[in-house]
Structure 1
Amino acid sequence: MIPNRLPQHLLVIDDSELQRQFMAELCSDMGIPHVLQAVDGHDAVAQLKTNPQIEAIILDLEMPGMDGVEVLHEMARLRLDPAVIVASARESVLLNVVESMGKSLGLRLLGVLQKPVLFEQLASSLSRFSVVQQRAEHNDSQVAGPQLDEQDIQRALREGEFVAYFQPKVSLLDGQLKGVEALIRWQHPQHGLLAPVHFIEMVERSQYISEVTLQMLDMSLQHCRRWHDAGLPLNFSINVSARSLADSKLADAIIERVMASGIPTHHVILEITESAIMVDLGITLGTLARLRLKGFGLSVDDYGTGFSCMLQLSRVPCSELKVDRAFVNGASQSLHLRILLESALDIARKLNLHVVAEGVETREDWLLLRNLGCGEAQGYFVAKPMPGEALLPWWRANRERVQLLGIAVE
C-alpha cells in the first residue's frame, strides 16, 4: 500500500472569500502546512506560473473573468501539473462533463465535489494525492523509451528476457487472496526492466505475439505450481491479444501446456478485451468456446470501455467480468461513476458472472465496491505487481492487514 502523503503547498481558487476561507480552514485542519488563495482564474494562473511548489489546487467553476473550465484548459496548455480538485455547486451532469474533460486533457484529477463540501469528502479526495503523484512520476520516467524492433523480440524470446510479474486479486468479502494477474515485463540487457508501455504494442503487431503469450503462460504455470505446493491454491489470469485469439492453433497449445503442468484448468483465466472479440470473429469465438469447454475461465477485460458491451457478453462464453479502472477509480467521489459501476455489477449478477474490479487505489473505493457486492479487487490499495517469488513473502507479511480490510466497516 502506498504511504498516504498530502500535498504540502495547496492553492484554493474561488471568487467567494467565504468559500475560500472555509476551504482553506478545512485544508489546514487536515495538516496541510501551506494553503494559498486565489481570488479568480487569472490570479490562479499567475500564481501557478510563478510558484512551482504548488502541488494541488481546489478549483471553483463559476468565477467572473476566467472561469474554472478556462483555468483547466490553461493549465493543460501551459503544462502546469498540480493535482486538481474541482468543487462547485453546479449540477452533477455538468460536473461529470468537467471531470471527463479534465481527464481527456491529461490533468491529474483527485476528485470532482459538489458544494457544500464536507470534511470527509475533501479528505478522501486529498488522500488520492500520493497515488496520483506516484503514477505521474512513473509516467514521466517512461516518456522516452528505447528503440526496439522484431529482432529484439526474437532475441528476448530466445534468451528468456521476458518475465512475469503478478498483481494480487483479493476477495472484498473476507480479504482472502484469491488469485493474481500475470503482467509481462522485459528484462532488457541494456535498458533494464521495461514496462509494457515500451514494447507491448510492437509485440502485439509482430509475428511473435502467440509465442510471447505461451512463454508468459509457461512462467505463470511454474509459479502457480509453487504456490499450490506451498498450500496457496491460487488462480492466475493472463492476457490474450486479439491476434493470438485469431490463431486457430492457440487453443491446442494452451490446453497442451496446462494439461502437462498438472494445474487444473479452472485455475487458469484468460483475459480478453472487448475489441479482441471482433477480430476474425468466427475463429475467435471458436477458440474461446473450445477453451471454455475444457474448463478454463474466460474474463472480459476492460469492461465498459467498448461500444457494444452487452452484445459482446451475449456472444462470449465468459465466466468473469473485469470492470475497467475508469469506472472504479474515484467512484466513491462521483455519482455518475457509481451509477455506471452499479450497472456493471447488476449486469454481472444477472448473467451469473464473477466480477473483479481493477484500479482500486483508495480505502473509499474499496468500501464502495464491498458495499455494492463486488467479488474481488486489485490495485495499488492492495499491492503493486511483483515478481512471482515475492508473492508468498508479501502475503505472509500483509495477510493480516488485507484480511482486516475484508471486515472493515464504514
Structure 2
Amino acid sequence: VEHADDTIPGGLMPEPAATDAPAQSFALPVADPANAALTVLVVEEQDFSRKVLVRQLRALGALDVLQASDGEQALELLRRPDNAVGLILCDLDMPRMDGLEFMRHLGAIRSAASLVITGAVDVALLNSVQMMCRAYGIRPLGVLEKPVNSECLRTMMARARKPMPGPALVDAAGGPEFSLDEILGGLQQEQFEPFFQPKVELAGGRIVGAEALARWRHPQHGLISPRAFIEPLERSGHIDTLTFKMLEQAAHACHRWNRSGHDLSVSVNLSLVSLADTRLATRVAAVVRAVGLAPRRLTLEVTETAAMTDVGPALENLARLRLRG
C-alpha cells in the first residue's frame, strides 16, 4: 500500500456538451492551507472512485493522502509506527474486510482519526453505524454520498482538524488504576453514563433496541472502560449503585425513543451479585414505573463477572422480574 497517486484512469472528468449558453466555470475548489497538516486515508474498493476522491482532497489542500482498497490494507497503514492519519474516508461495502468490521478493528487499535462514511446509507444503517462508532471509541463525522461534493468534503476536513470533544476510551489494561473511593466519588458526581450499542434484526437490518454500556467520563482521563470499575464495585458490594444509575438513565432514554415513535427496547447489564438481594425486583419495577416505561421494553442481561454463591435468591428475583413483565 503506497501513498496516493492522483492520476484518474481514463482521463479527467468528461467535458460538458457543446451549447450556445455562456460557458460555466468547472475550476477545482480553492485549497485551504490549514488542510496541509491533515493526513487523510481513503478506504474505497473502486479504483476510479478512490482516485477521484484523492484528487479532490489534494485540490482542497491535503498534502498527505493515503489509500487502501479494503479494511485490511487500511489497518496495515494505521498500524505503522509513523501513522499520523487524522481523517478516514471509508466505504462500507468492500471485499475481504468491509467497513463495519474495519470499524471494530479501528476501535481496537484506538485510532485517534475521525471517520466519514462514503456512499449511500439509509437512516437505520446510519444510526447503527454512529452508535457502533461511539461504542468503539471512534469519532464519526457523518456521511458523504457519491459522487462526493467538494464543499461537503471541505466541511468534513475542517471538522476533522478540530480537537475531539473527549479523549478515546481508556482500557484498564495498561491504563490508570482507581481506588474504590475514586470510583464512588465519580458515581456521586454523576460522571457515569450509558453508551447505547444498537441491537439489529439480522433479517431486515432494522434496529430493534439498544444495550446500555456503562462508561465513566473521568474529568482527567476521559472515557474509562468498565474493566476499571466493575470488579471493585462488585467486591465491595457497591455494584447496585452503578446498576441503578444506568437503569434509570437507560429507562428514560428508551421512554423518549418510544414517545418519538420508535419501536425500541433497552437492555441493562445486571451483575450476579445483585441477584442475591431479594429486594431487587421491587426496586427495578419501581424505577420502570416512575419513568413510565412499559416493563416489556426492558431487558436485564445477567453478566458473569462474579461467581454466584446463593442460587435461591437469584432464581426468586428472576421469577419475580418475569412476573412483573
TM-score, normalised to structure 1's length?
Answer: 0.41
Among 117, 131, 156, the alignment partner of 2:104 is 131
2:209 is the alignment partner of 1:179 = yes
- After superposition, the C-alpha distances for 1:252-300 in whole angstroms (9 at most, x for unaligned) are 11111111211110000000146768431111111101001111xxxxx
**Counterpart contact for 1:242–1:279, Cα < 8 Å:** no
CA distance in 2, matches of 1:177, 1:235: 10
- After superposition, the C-alpha distances for 1:143-169 in whole angstroms (9 at most, x for unaligned) are 432221121122122211111110111
Which has a greater percent of helix? 1
**Counterpart contact for 1:221–1:258, Cα < 8 Å:** yes
Larger Rg: 2
Distance 1:131 1:216, change over 3 A: closer
CA distance in 2, matches of 1:224, 1:130: 26
Among 166, 170, 188, the alignment partner of 2:196 is 166
Percent of aligned positions that are identical: 37
Among 245, 250, 256, the alignment partner of 2:286 is 256
Matches within 5 A, 1:1-400: 55=76, 123-124=95-96, 128=101, 131-137=104-110, 142=171, 143-273=173-303, 278-295=308-325
CA distance in 2, matches of 1:193, 1:248: 33
CA distance in 1, matches of 2:175, 2:225: 10
CA distance in 2, matches of 1:192, 1:149: 17
Distance 1:211 1:5, change over 3 A: farther
Distance 1:215 1:133, change over 3 A: closer
- After superposition, the C-alpha distances for 1:48-91 in whole angstroms (9 at most, x for unaligned) are xxxxx9939xxxxxxxxxxxxxxxxxxxxxxxx89xxxxxxxxx
SS of match in other structure, 1:168: strand
| Unpaired runs of at least 5, structure 2 | 1-41, 46-67, 81-93, 112-167
SS of match in other structure, 1:283: helix
SS of match in other structure, 1:204: helix
CA distance in 1, matches of 2:225, 2:299: 22
**Counterpart contact for 2:170–2:224, Cα < 8 Å:** no
Superposition deviation, residue 140 in structure 1: 10
Superposition deviation, residue 181 in structure 1: 0.2
Superposition deviation, residue 187 in structure 1: 1.3
**Counterpart contact for 1:235–1:268, Cα < 8 Å:** yes
CA distance in 2, matches of 1:275, 1:201: 7
**Counterpart contact for 2:169–2:223, Cα < 8 Å:** no
Distance 1:157 1:264, change over 3 A: same
RMSD, aligned α-carbons: 3.3
Quick one: which amino acid aligns to residue 257 of structure 1?
V
Quick one: which amino acid aligns to residue 131 of structure 1?
R
**Counterpart contact for 1:245–1:283, Cα < 8 Å:** yes
**Counterpart contact for 1:277–1:285, Cα < 8 Å:** no
Superposition deviation, residue 129 in structure 1: 5.3
SS of match in other structure, 1:55: helix
Distance 1:126 1:231, change over 3 A: closer
Matching residue of 1:358: none
**Counterpart contact for 2:234–2:273, Cα < 8 Å:** yes
SS of match in other structure, 2:211: strand
| Unpaired runs of at least 5, structure 1 | 7-29, 36-52, 57-80, 83-121, 296-410
Superposition deviation, residue 125 in structure 1: 5.2
Distance 1:54 1:125, change over 3 A: closer
SS of match in other structure, 2:96: helix
CA distance in 2, matches of 1:208, 1:185: 16
Superposition deviation, residue 124 in structure 1: 2.5
SS of match in other structure, 1:170: strand
**Counterpart contact for 2:170–2:221, Cα < 8 Å:** no
Distance 1:4 1:180, change over 3 A: farther
Which ranges of 4 or more aligned residues in structure 1 deviate by more than 3 Å? 3-6, 53-56, 125-131, 137-143, 273-279
- After superposition, the C-alpha distances for 1:71-120 in whole angstroms (9 at most, x for unaligned) are xxxxxxxxxx89xxxxxxxxxxxxxxxxxxxxxxxxxxxxxxxxxxxxxx
CA distance in 1, matches of 2:247, 2:289: 12
CA distance in 2, matches of 1:202, 1:186: 14
Higher relative contact order at CA 8 Å, sep ≥6: structure 1 or structure 2? 1
CA distance in 2, matches of 1:157, 1:281: 29
TM-score, normalised to structure 2's length?
Answer: 0.50
User: Paired residues, what number?
Assistant: 188
